[in-house]
Chain A
Amino acid sequence: MNRKNYTHPNPNPNYTSNNSMQSLHFIQALARINRAASKPTTPSCRTKQIRHAAYSSMAYTSGSRRKWSRALLIRLRQRQRLRARRLLTVRRRVRIVTPAMSLPEEPARAETLRRLVPGGRSMEYCNLLEEAADYVQCLRTQVQLMQSLVDAFSS
């Protein structure tokens, strides 16, 4: 999925083609989860699957264009592999710790933000701010999407 990274004037800044791609990915993932529901799944397991699908569709939509989405995809796949190996064990949340790149000119700023944005530890401060803005945008879209689905299902 290669998208050229260009901006064009958008009449409605709230709706972008990225949003619809994100919605599509998420709904497809939900469909997969629903189809696989013939296997006995506990509610908490299904919740985790849905949560995984949410972050997965976010990351997949931005793909390799963003550092946070690359880092998130890696983290999700590692978690999935670990979960597949031990299906029944209750595991602590897996932290994949990457060593922070040493930045000789700037001290590491915004520690908390680095922890919250996927892949944030090894970003330069400038990139971190940009990635954080994009990450927040994607998160917001995902939350709006999920809220719309919940509203549609519960009306």
Chain B
Amino acid sequence: MSSRRSHSRHSNASRITEEQINELVSKLQMMLPDAPIRRNSRVSAKKVLQETCSYIRSLHQEVDDLSERLSELLASTETDSAEAAILRSLLMQ
């Protein structure tokens, strides 16, 4: 992080922004799935970004998978649970 500071031309502006960036990176780190384990250790920004990318990809994949399952379940007519009946009636409106 300090090497970046030495390259900056507008030192005041980028020092403030560095703090903001660190804050945002730690905020991202806390959203990652293994955040509780890592809370105390300092993870590099690069690692946080990498993990955020793979987390986003896995979430996209989950949306795809769940869409498929929902599609199958909506199509099927056999269900005898009360919850499902309620949801179905909600969806039938």
Contact = CB atoms under 8 A, between A and B. Distances in A.
A31 interface: yes
B76 to A, nearest CB: 8
B43 interface: no
Interface residues of B, number: 41
Contacts, number: 115
Contacts of A126: 17, 20-21, 24
A136 B70 contact: no
Contacts of B90: 27, 31
Looking at chain A's contact residues, the main secondary structure is helix
Interface string A62-73: 000000000000
Contacts of A155: 81, 83-84
Size class of the A contact interface (CB-based, 8 Å): 35 or more
A113 B31 contact: no
Interface of A: 27, 30-31, 33-35, 37, 43, 46-48, 50-51, 54-55, 105, 110, 112-113, 116-117, 125-126, 129-130, 132-133, 135-137, 139-140, 142-143, 146-147, 149-150, 152-155
User: 6 closest A-B pairs (Cβ-Cβ)?
Assistant: A129-B24, A146-B66, A51-B67, A153-B73, A47-B71, A50-B67
